[in-house]
Amino acid sequence: MRNLLYVLLAAFLISCGKNSADLIIHKAAIYTVDSSFSVATAMAIKDGKILAIGTDDQILQQFISDSLIDAAGATIFPGWIDAHAHFVGYGESLFKVNLFGTKTWEEAVERVKAFAIQHPELTWIEGRGWDQNKWPGKQFPDNTLLNELFPDKPVILTRIDGHASIANEKALTLSGIRIGQSIEGGAILEKNGKLTGVLIDNADNAVYASIPAITPENFEKILRAAQENCFASGITSITDCGLSNRVVEQIDSLQKSGKLLMRLNVMLSDQSDNLAIWLAKGVYTTDRLRVGSFKVYADGALGSRGACLLHDYADQPGWKGFLLRSPAHYDSVAALLAASPFQMCTHAIGDSANRSILAIYQKYLKGKNDRRWRIEHAQIVHPDDFNRFGNASVVPSVQPTHATSDMYWASERLGKERLKGGYAFQQLLQQNGWLPLGTDFPVEDISPFKTFLAAVARKDAQGFPAQGFQMENALTREQAIRGMTIWAAKAGFQEKELGSLEPGKKADFVMLSSNLMKIPDTAILQTKVMATYVGGKCVYKSK
């Protein structure tokens, strides 16, 4: 009798013209991030896409679903999109010694020692995250301690920004690095006629080339570990900056077999084989993958004084940093990409690197356009050069937490005056009216809330500085949310499918414990991710 009633009820509802949905969420504060930044309370989802979004009444009158979630007032945003990160590199870092936050070189070495005891199976020990600027004396270390502890096992430890490393003697020998050797776009540091083990920029390439390749099983383990942490942070799509063709193929097959759910927009690294293969192949898109850009490096980072500046470093007279390749190289890549549908995305930190790349971009882009060529970081820009972004529609791709990490020492490198053109996010946003945001993890923590706080309040996780760092370049909360969603999607030509919650778009969203548009700055980092959905499927739920 009861079953019959349900059947009759269902028939009645269908006859009333209700459409079935796979999932309905109601009683939520849904920031759609559409063009008017409208807020809805309910949405219906089917086949991984949003069917409709509106008020509870509108949605519940039109749709019916076996899966109805009462969000109890929770805030929903489109899934976070990280416009510049290293997803694969982050996964690898989870299986390396974590040297972030070490207060001395000795502490870093202690962590390496403990890690080596825990992982006797590893034939190489890799680590990441040291920063001599956080240590007493702020000097680069040397490898004496590492050589004593590990005479027979190669060790390579990368600096926090990835632009310098320290290797022990065993690793240097295996890689064929010799005293007095010169390397284009890199430097091998020596002291008293001996190698210190410190390798700047391109100098560590030989060491990394000596490390045995990761097996497919380990690769899957690495990516799934990275994905788990990202979903727990509400990140549903990532632009991975600089991968090889082999890695892209592995990712594609893991996604196709359903083993990897993260959406990725891949920048191919600037290698001749990548260029040859992909320029012939063209832009590639699947449900979860887009390959449509190349990542080029113009210079290094400010912390290791590898950023290429127009004038001397304030704390090292006579030194301006350097470009990693010749201007002719950047020009030749730009010429190839200009004749293709691919985006050119160039890492440029120093004002000289930014100026050089902007000039090359302008030469090929010739005024306003929709090619969305990007400058990654656009960290220090000369006052005369800001308008070049707008004039050639060049997209600055910035990472707000770099500002709050670097602010402690950036004025030592640059001096106060030059620093004003540094981390100038609002000024850059005004150039094209939009600005994608990223984190650059694992260089920074993966937390999107730290990005949001750094963008709007220009403060770090400790709430420093109380008044905010160079507040004239803070973003509004709406701008920051757009930067982490729709503008990040747009920077990868994905704004038609991702980045906002509108009918027809992919149902990627994050449910939060508090409303980022309304809470005070001090509560931003307390925000909890309650659930994350990719293509309408729950991929993370808080316990």
Q: Closer to Zn ion at the Cβ: 186 or 438? A: 438
In Å, how far are 32, 257, 381, 437 from 377, measured between CA atoms?
A: 27, 34, 10, 10
In Å, how far are 43, 82, 141, 330 from 235, measured between CA atoms?
A: 20, 7, 36, 32
Exactly one of 440, 460, 495, 508 binds Zn ion (CB under 5 A); that residue is 440
Q: Could you tell me the smallest distance in angstroms from the CB atom of residue 161 to Zn ion?
A: 9
Q: Closer to Zn ion at the Cβ: 89 or 292? A: 89
Q: Closer to Zn ion at the Cβ: 142 or 406? A: 406
Asked if the bond preceding 465 is cis, omega within 30° of 0, the reply is yes
Contacting range for Zn ion; rule: CB under 5 A; set: 96-104, 138-146, 350-358, 436-444:
436-444
Q: Could you tell me the smallest distance in angstroms from the CB atom of residue 348 to Zn ion?
A: 12
Give the DSSP per-residue string, 397-439.
Answer: EB-HHHHHHHTTTHHHHH-HHHHTTBS-HHHHHHHHT---B--
Q: Closer to Zn ion at the Cβ: 235 or 241? A: 241
What is the contact mask toward Zn ion in residues 241 to 270, using x (rule: CB under 5 A)?
x-----------------------------
Q: Could you tell me the smallest distance in angstroms from the CB atom of residue 347 to Zn ion?
A: 7
Q: Could you tell me the smallest distance in angstroms from the CB atom of residue 354 to Zn ion?
A: 16
Contacting range for Zn ion; rule: CB under 5 A; set: 47-55, 317-325, 440-448, 515-523:
440-448
Q: Could you tell me the smallest distance in angstroms from the CB atom of residue 115 to Zn ion?
A: 24
Tokens of 380: 């220090």
Q: Closer to Zn ion at the Cβ: 292 or 535? A: 292
Q: Closer to Zn ion at the Cβ: 351 or 440? A: 440
Q: Closer to Zn ion at the Cβ: 42 or 241? A: 241
Which of 292, 219, 231, 287 is CA-nearest to residue 256?
287
Cα–Cα distance for residue pair 426/477, rounded to 1 Å? 12
Footprint (CB under 5 A) of Zn ion, residues 4-43: none
Q: Closer to Zn ion at the Cβ: 440 or 497? A: 440
Contacting range for Zn ion; rule: CB under 5 A; set: 147-155, 333-341, 408-416, 438-446:
438-446
The answer to whether the CB of 168 falls within 8 A of the CB of 197 is yes
Cα–Cα distance for residue pair 461/52, rounded to 1 Å? 37
Helix, coil or strand: residue 468 = coil
Q: Closer to Zn ion at the Cβ: 241 or 375? A: 241
The footprint of Zn ion on this chain (CB under 5 A) covers a number of residues equal to 2
Residue ranges of alpha helices (H) inside 323-372 are 327-338, 351-365
Cα–Cα distance for residue pair 168/126, rounded to 1 Å? 11
C-beta nearest to Zn ion: residue: 440
Cα–Cα distance for residue pair 162/205, rounded to 1 Å? 11
Q: Closer to Zn ion at the Cβ: 133 or 346? A: 346
Which of 504, 514, 456 is CA-nearest to residue 481?
456
Q: Closer to Zn ion at the Cβ: 84 or 371? A: 84
Q: Could you tell me the smallest distance in angstroms from the CB atom of residue 145 to Zn ion?
A: 29
Contacting range for Zn ion; rule: CB under 5 A; set: 41-49, 229-237, 412-420, 434-442:
434-442
Q: Could you tell me the smallest distance in angstroms from the CB atom of residue 349 to Zn ion?
A: 10
Cα–Cα distance for residue pair 242/261, rounded to 1 Å? 20
Q: Could you tell me the smallest distance in angstroms from the CB atom of residue 435 to Zn ion?
A: 17
What is the contact mask toward Zn ion in residues 186 to 225, using x (rule: CB under 5 A)?
----------------------------------------
Q: Could you tell me the smallest distance in angstroms from the CB atom of residue 307 to Zn ion?
A: 13
Q: Closer to Zn ion at the Cβ: 267 or 531? A: 267
3-state percent helix, strand, coil for the chain, nearest multiple of 5:
35, 25, 40
Helix, coil or strand: residue 243 = strand
Cα–Cα distance for residue pair 38/419, rounded to 1 Å? 37
Which of 307, 286, 302, 283 is CA-nearest to residue 294?
283
Quick check: 406 binds Zn ion (CB under 5 A)?
Answer: no
DSSP β-bridge partners for residue 199:
165, 188
Q: Could you tell me the smallest distance in angstroms from the CB atom of residue 47 to Zn ion?
A: 34
Q: Could you tell me the smallest distance in angstroms from the CB atom of residue 440 to Zn ion?
A: 4
What is the contact mask toward Zn ion in residues 225 to 244, using x (rule: CB under 5 A)?
----------------x---
Footprint (CB under 5 A) of Zn ion, residues 468-487: none
Cα–Cα distance for residue pair 332/325, rounded to 1 Å? 11
Q: Could you tell me the smallest distance in angstroms from the CB atom of residue 297 to Zn ion?
A: 9
Cα–Cα distance for residue pair 116/96, rounded to 1 Å? 10
Cα–Cα distance for residue pair 414/435, rounded to 1 Å? 24
Residues making contact with Zn ion (CB under 5 A): 241, 440
